[in-house]
Structure formats: structure tokens, C-alpha cells
């Protein structure tokens, strides 16, 4: 089986080159995914494509994979563009596995694991809280955002413009993108570390639940900067 990893930024590329150096029949290449011909050439030569690039390019990767019956894995939510390709992917007989990163991905797996454990013992989940996100070490959170880009900067920033929906005390709560940062709450992890967490959209919940809430943590004191960005015209456009 041959795998094609697609990564975006320099850090990931260096990591992949180092990774590739330790294995036979493995090489790191530079590829312009906006070039259909170049993308088709590489996708056709592999059995599985693992796409770690920004979500706006996943549809192009999947279209190429449909042509050459190549399996696809992504770390992103299912976008409308991906959903439109569902029938074509099924007709081609390929698997397109999405949402298998950290968030979304690991958080969902652990949620299902814990909920299944409760159900296996005859219990019901009344309240469920999930906190997941990637943060730099406190000593390295040395910029106004208190954040370092480990993935697509565009995607990371746009995630702060998402709306949020969650279940709380039996009521569906909707938070607009303009109010997202203002809806942040203090989140205690351990002594000496101050966090706040803002709500995100839930993708599933259970009928027995009265509260099903998912939040993304951030260092306290830095969300104000993000709120300021939301009110700026260049940011909003």
C-alpha cells in the first residue's frame, strides 16, 4: 500500500522529510494542489491520500481521488463542498474518512468511548462536557494572541469567526460569531495555569442528555485581543 501525505506549512514539510528519511520507498515532494494535473498525477500513483492541508482544498483532492479510485483521509469537518461529492465517491467505491484529527477527531473518539462505557453499565448520560484544543507551552505563549500556528493560519483565525450551538439544561443555545469570544468561561485545569474556554458547535448528542457542551480552551487574558480583531473591519472582511 502506498500513502500520499499532503501537508501545508514549512514545519509540517520538514517533519515529513525527516519522517520519510527513516523509511524505504518513502519520499517528500513539493506539490501544488491547485494544479489539477499535478495533483492527479500523485493521487493516481497512491492507494491512500491523507490530506492535512486547509479544508478549502479537500474537495479538489477528493475529486482527483474519485477519478483514480484512491481512498482519502482528512482531519476536517465535512464541508458543503465535500458533502456534494458523497454520491460520486460512493459510486467510485472509495472511502472518504473525515474528522480524524485532534479536534475534530480525538475529541469525538474519547466522547464516544466514555459515553459507551456509561451505557454498557446501564447508565445514562445527563451532562457531557468536552474541552479540546492545541496550545503552546505557557513559556512559549509570548505573543499577543497567546497562540502559535500549528496548522493553517487562515483556518485557525476563521475558527474564531464560527458560531456555536450546544445543549444546556435541555435548551438548545445558539451563539453568533460576533458573540463567540464574549461567551468564554473560566476553565480550571490545575494550579498555576489560567484558562478560559469558548463554545463550539456540537455535531452530535444523545436523547438522554440535558447538557452537551463542547469548548475550546485558550490562555486567559488573550481572548480580548481576539475580540478586538472581531470588531475590526479588515478582520470581518
Q: Would you identify the CATH topology of the domain 106-236?
A: Dihydrodipicolinate Reductase; domain 2 (3.30.360)
Contact 2, 49 (CB under 8 A): no
Answer whether residue 86 shows pLDDT above 90: yes
Q: Which residues of 194-205 are buried (b: 16+ CB within 10 A; e: fewer)?
A: ebbbbbbebeeb
Confidence of residue 230 (pLDDT cuts 50, 70, 90): low
| Structure confidence by residue, pLDDT tens digits, 160-185 | 778 899 989 989 999 998 888 888 88
Catalytic residues: 103
Residue showing cell 527513516: 22
Question: Across all residues in the chain, what is the average pLDDT?
Answer: 85
pTM listed for this prediction: 0.78
Residues near 110 by beta carbon (within 8 Å), at least 6 away in sequence: 130
Query: Is the pLDDT higher at 31 or at 62?
Result: 62
Confidence of residue 237 (pLDDT cuts 50, 70, 90): very low
Question: In the chain, where are the structural domains located?
Answer: 3-97, 106-236
CATH of 3-97, one of 3.40.50.720, 1.10.1740.10, 3.20.20.100, 2.40.110.10: 3.40.50.720
Mean pLDDT value across residues 202-226: 74
Residue showing cell 468536552: 130
| Structure confidence by residue, pLDDT tens digits, 145-154 | 778 877 777 7
Mean pLDDT value across residues 13-24: 78
For residue 101, report the phi and psi dihedrals to the nearest 5 degrees. -100, -140
- What is the radius of gyration, based on Cα positions, of the chain? 20
Whole-angstrom distance, CA of residue 131 vs CA of residue 192? 18
Of 102, 152, 98, give the one whose Cα is nearest residue 130. 102
pLDDT number for residue 95? 98
Count, in order, helices (H) and strands (E) of the chain.
9, 10
Amino acid at each position: 500500500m502506498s500513502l500520499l501525505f499532503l501537508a501545508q506549512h514549512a514545519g509540517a514539510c520538514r517533519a515529513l522529510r525527516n519522517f520519510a528519511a527513516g523509511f524505504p520507498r518513502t519520499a517528500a515532494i513539493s506539490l501544488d494542489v491547485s494544479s489539477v494535473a499535478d495533483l492527479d498525477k500523485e493521487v493516481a500513483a497512491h492507494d491512500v491520500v491523507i490530506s492535512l492541508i486547509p479544508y478549502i482544498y479537500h474537495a479538489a483532492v477528493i475529486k482527483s481521488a474519485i477519478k483514480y479510485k484512491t481512498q482519502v483521509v482528512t482531519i476536517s469537518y465535512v464541508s458543503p463542498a465535500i458533502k456534494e461529492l458523497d454520491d460520486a465517491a460512493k459510486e467510485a467505491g472509495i472511502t472518504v474518512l473525515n474528522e480524524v484529527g485532534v479536534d475534530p477527531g480525538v475529541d469525538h473518539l474519547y466522547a464516544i468511548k466514555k459515553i459507551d462505557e456509561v451505557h454498557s453499565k446501564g447508565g445514562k448520560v445527563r451532562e457531557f462536557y468536552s474541552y479540546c484544543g492545541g496550545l503552546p507551552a505557557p513559556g512559549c505563549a509570548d505573543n499577543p494572541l497567546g497562540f502559535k500556528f500549528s496548522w493553517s493560519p487562515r483556518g485557525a483565525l476563521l475558527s474564531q469567526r464560527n458560531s456555536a450551538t450546544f445543549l444546556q439544561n435541555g435548551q438548545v443555545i445558539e451563539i453568533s460569531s460576533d458573540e463567540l469570544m464574549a461567551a468564554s468561561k473560566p476553565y480550571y485545569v490545575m494550579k498555576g495555569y489560567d484558562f478560559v474556554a469558548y463554545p463550539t458547535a456540537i455535531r452530535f448528542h444523545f436523547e438522554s442528555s440535558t447538557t452537551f457542551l463542547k469548548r475550546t480552551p485558550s490562555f486567559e487574558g488573550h481572548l480580548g485581543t481576539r475580540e478586538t480583531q472581531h470588531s475590526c473591519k479588515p478582520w470581518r472582511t
